[in-house]
Each structure stands twice: as C-alpha cells, then as structure tokens.
Chain A
Amino acid sequence: VEVKEKMKIEEMQKNIRLHPIWQKDIPFGFQPGLPMLSVEQNKLCVSFFIHRAVSYPSKFEMFPPEYFATWVYPFKKMVRFFHLPFHSADPLSVKPVVFDLNDLAIQSYNGIYDECENAVLSWLNENDSRAVYRYQEYFDSAVGRLGLGSMYDRGKINVLYGGF
C-alpha cells in the first residue's frame, strides 16, 4: 500500500497560483486566504477566498474577499470560481479585519494550516472524511479566536457558494 506524504500548504498554494485563471484574472498581490476543506463528489476539495492582505509591524489586515475558488486534489484543477461582487445579490458582506500578531494569534493562524495538512494526509491515506469534518470544526473555532468568524462563516459560505 502506497503511503502518501504530507502535502505542505505552501505546495498547495503554489499549485493554485500556477493555475491559468489565477495568472490571467487575479490581480497581482492578491492571496489565497485560509484553506477550507470539503468532500464533494467523493473527492477532496479545497476552497479559498482570494483577497488582499496588508501587513503592519505587529498587525495583519485581511480585506473582504474578492473571489472564491475551489480546487480538487491535488489542487491543480479548479472546479468553481466566483468574482464575488458579481456573483450574488446578497454577497457575504464583511469589513476588513485587523488582528494583532501576538503569539497566540500566530499560533491559531498557523494551527489552521497544520491541521489542514493533517486532514489532507488522513484523507489521502485512509480516505477518511471524518478527518475533514474534524478540520472544519477546528477551523470554525480558530477563525473565531482570530476575529475572522464573520468572514469565514461556514453556514453562509455554504449557502452562497457551496462546498464548505
């Protein structure tokens, strides 16, 4: 049995940025936000808000998302892409969020990526969708701690864009 190795989030993001739609349509400087894992059509998917983010010496500002896109593992094929202001009559209306980059916030933020990598690995090796659901629960609580709960409201995202 082939054991898959952990896919680093950086590799995932690299695949995403190399996508032709990204190169052609996404303004330079926009970045994928936090990874939202889901299982759709029995396939592992990751969705990202795509938005601007600005760094200050000890703060980090995330602007409201401009795009929403979903990729299927190994995250080279895009299966969903929305330019949000043009997508819905009732778009996810959020304000920019600024959070202090204290140790706790950095730990919470990075914890999301660590858990995402673990969930992807569990899915690949055990085909275990429970790992993805556990990640979603972890995600909800971590974004809440970071003050990003309104931007990453999973219920709303599901209704508006599907998947998550």
Chain B
Amino acid sequence: MGMPNHRTSKILFPIIPWFLPVLIITVWAGISVGRLLPESILPPPWTVIRTGWALVQSGELTSHLAASTIRVTFGFFLGAITGIFLGLFLGLHRKARRIMKPLVTAFQQVPLFAWMPFFIVLLGIEESSKIVFIAAGCFFPVWVNTYEGVVSLPSAFKEVGRVYQLGTVQSVFKLILPWSMSSLITGLRLSFSLAWMLVVGAELFGSDTGLGALMTWGRQMFQIDVVLVGVLVIGLIGILTNRFLEVMERKLLKWRPVYEN
C-alpha cells in the first residue's frame, strides 16, 4: 500500500472526496446540455436551482418548511418528554420494568409507518395524527437510551446515595440524571433526526402543508424540479441537523471526564 508519488498524492489527497460529487453534477449537466433525457424525467441542474429560488421568493418553500418545523417541534418534545419519564420510571422500579417492558418491546416490533394509518383513523388526517406519529417515533430512542443509562448506574453510585441519605428526587437529579446524561443525549439526538424524516413521511400520507406535501404536489403535477428541490432541502436539513446535534452533544458533555474514551 505504498504511495506512488508523494508530491502528487499530497495535492490530490484533499480533493479526492470531491471527485464523485463533481462527476455526478457534470454528468447531470451533460445529460441536460445534450438533451439525452427528456426534461420531464431529469430537469437540468440550473432549472432546479431556479425553481428552488422561485419557491423561496414566493414564500412557498418557507411556509411549507415552517409547517413541517412546527410539527417536528411539537412531536419531538411530546415524544422526548414521555420517553425520558418512562425511561426513568422503568429504570428505577424493577417491578414496573417487569410489568411494562414486554409491552413496550412488543410495540417496538411494529414498523413505525404501520402506526400512521392507525393514528389517522383514530385522530383524523389533520395536525394531531401527524404530531402523535412523530412523537411515537421520537419516543422509542429516547426511552431506550434513558432506560439503559439509568440501569447502567454502577452500584458504587447507589451506595454513595445511600450514605448521603439522598431521597428519590435528589438521587435522580444528583446521581442518576448526570450519570445517564450521555446516553440520554444520544437518544435525543437520534430521535430529533428521526423526527425530520417522520414528518416528511407523515406528510406524504396526505397533507396540504409541509415539505412532504410540496413534494407530493410536485409528483402529482409531474414537476420533477419541485420534487428535486424537496429532496435537496430535506438532505440539507438532515446534514445540518446532524452536524449541529453532534456539536451540541460534544458541548453538553464536555464536563464529563468519563466521556473521553
């Protein structure tokens, strides 16, 4: 595995990862210039950019984005809070764990999207079914990670709590939550990025607003440029939230010496 030429590889090294994206865009542009595919199948990149810009200027994209964001926010908080509480509760009480864990595990077996028709029939096609659906999805990673964090509390910590005669509330805030913080934050991070994909999924089931609705509209009108704008925006949001949450996670866990592994 020797490097063929040190100097060329030094120049090439940082730009190698860009080969593929540049190649894809070049091929895409080439297809458009050479008219190899009809524009209704693959519109040229510049048309997609122009459409995206037009959607931003008309305020359409922003209003759809806002509708999705509101759903994500409500759903995420609802799911995360329930997840934290259940994780803490089951982590702390062995008996409650025995009674409830099999049921939660059983619910987890169902593919998330199978719940969407259930919520639609139960709550109607409007806002509430979407929010509950997102919340249900966000719930699982948070509950699992909180629970595992709480359960992994070393017995030495429990003894410290006993020595200091901490009450339940105190030991939750002083020992258990700080201990399980990294696991909890991982759960929150997972469920937040999950929320962004669930909202799009929920909107694809039928909605007038939101990114999923915009894309469904584009699909039904055979406006593939609108669909591509949707994919790009969703991808951008995915990448940005992941980056943001990773930075947040690192910042929030800086005080923990244990985190350095």
Query: Is this pair of chains taken from one and the same complex?
Result: no
